[in-house]
Amino acid sequence: MTEAQFEAIFPIGNDDAPKAYLARRRWPDGVHCPRCGNPKVYDLRSRKWHWQCEQCAPDGYRFSVLAGTIFENTNKPLRQWFKVVHLMTTSKKGVSALQIQRQMGFGSYETAWSMCHKIRAAMIEPAKKLGGIVEVDETFIGGKDQNRHWDKQTHVRGGADKTPVIGAVQRKGNVVARVLDHVTKAAAETFVREMVSEKVSLLATDAYQIYDGLTEYPRQSVKHHLGQYVVGAVHTNTIEGFWSIFKRGVVGTFHKVSDKYLALYVAEFQFRYNNRFNHDIFGAVVSGC
């Protein structure tokens, strides 16, 4: 969705357009109760975009189009929420909460920060096993050891203060990434077995020993430490490309990401990558809200 298309679909001053769009996305088969799923609800004529369900409670359960979504109990117009979603989905490397605050004119940074995190939570996708040719690799999020002062360098791969993230990508397909507490053989094997089908035609990794126990997979590796990066179809360039996008977003857009919320940022970049060919990525986010 372009800027012009967004303005045409959600004109300024029209509060009904965003609510109508959200209702269609939430209930494509007709409005049903968000509490019990009852499809036999009726409109409240006294309150637009509100319905009542007689099945939930003796005196009826009243709900609005915002009930049960990340927009519930918000003091911001729905159109402003949609504008933030649009900015986050059209920016390849993300957009910072400070930039959202400036561009939207919010009075506080905390408002923009909270909205962005809620939208990131809505971007979390259900896990699906990958097939075909799958690449698996791990990376570490944090400053480079060589850039630290000499007496603060750890000389340890990943560094003691870095956060590891492991990921798997299907060639010309989707990516799945997960934040780890520690990079261990058990953690790597658990991730691969949960996210990668045993029927893959190839599991491409580097020569890191944490993958050696995955003997049920047709695994082949490249030895980066020997200057080997591509051997026929065996390489990890695709997943490393995803790490590049993510790290450039962290360094160039957010500058610093805390361990506590790193999983949400990973979910955001994963969602955008997996919907890179989806012309309705905006609608996909709204459906998850």
pLDDT in tens, 173-203: 999 999 999 999 999 999 999 999 999 999 9
Q: In 3-state terms, what secondary structure has residue 227?
A: coil
Same-domain pairing of 119 and 138: no
* 69 and 100 in a common domain: yes
Residues 57 and 155 in one domain: no
Q: What pLDDT is attached to residue 154?
A: 65
Per-residue burial over 82-119, b if 16 or more Cβ lie within 10 Å, else e, is bbbbbbbbeeebbbbbeebbeeeebeeeebbbebbbbb
Across the chain, the runs of DSSP E, i.e. the strands, are 42-43, 50-53, 61-64, 133-141, 163-170, 175-179, 202-206, 219-222
| 280 lies in some domain | no
Q: Look at residues 179, 187, 227 and name the one whose alpha carbon lies nearest to residue 206.
A: 227
Residues 138 and 252 reside in one and the same domain = yes
Amino acid in the structure at residue 255: H
> Helices 97-104 and 109-122 meet at what angle, rounded to 10?
120
Q: Are residues 94 and 153 in the same domain?
A: no
pLDDT, residue 149, reads 66
Sequence-distant (6+) residues with CB within 8 A of 221 are 204, 205, 206, 207, 211, 234
Give the pLDDT confidence of 96-139 residue by residue, as tens digits: 999 999 999 999 999 999 999 999 999 999 989 999 999 999 99
Of 123, 143, 176, the position where a domain reaches its end is 123
Owning domain of residue 90: 3-123
- Is residue 288 in a domain? no
DSSP state of 250: I
- Give the Cα separation of 88 and 280 in Å (integer): 13
145 in the same domain as 87:
no
Burial of 18 by CB count in 10 Å (0-12 exposed, 13-18 middle, 19+ buried)?
Answer: buried
- The β-bridge relationship of strands 202-206 and 219-222 is parallel
For residues 141 and 31, membership in a common domain is answered with no
For 45, the 3-state DSSP assignment is coil
**Higher local confidence (pLDDT), 145 or 69:** 69
For residues 189 and 110, state if they share a domain: no
> What is the average pLDDT across 133-146?
86
Task: Measure the CA–CA gap between 183 and 163, rounded to whole angstroms.
Answer: 9
How much is the average pLDDT of 207-235?
A: 93
Residues 110 and 156 in one domain: no
**Overall domain count for the chain:** 2
15 and 33 co-located in one domain: yes
Neighbours of 285 (CB within 10 A): 23
Cβ neighbours around 223 below 10 Å, total: 11
pLDDT, the chain, mean? 92
Residue 285 lies in a domain: no
CATH number at residue 186: 3.30.420
Measured CA to CA, the distance from residue 288 to residue 59 in angstroms comes to 30
Q: What pLDDT digit, counting tens, does each position of 33-87 carry?
A: 999 999 999 899 889 999 999 988 778 899 999 999 999 999 999 999 999 999 9
Last residue of a domain, one of 104, 123, 142: 123
- 265 lies in some domain: no
Confidence at residue 65, expressed as pLDDT on a 0 to 100 scale: 96
> What sign does the CA torsion over 4, 75, 275, 220 have?
positive
Are 16 and 116 members of one domain? yes
Domain annotation covers residue 273: no
Are residues 148 and 112 part of one domain? Answer: no
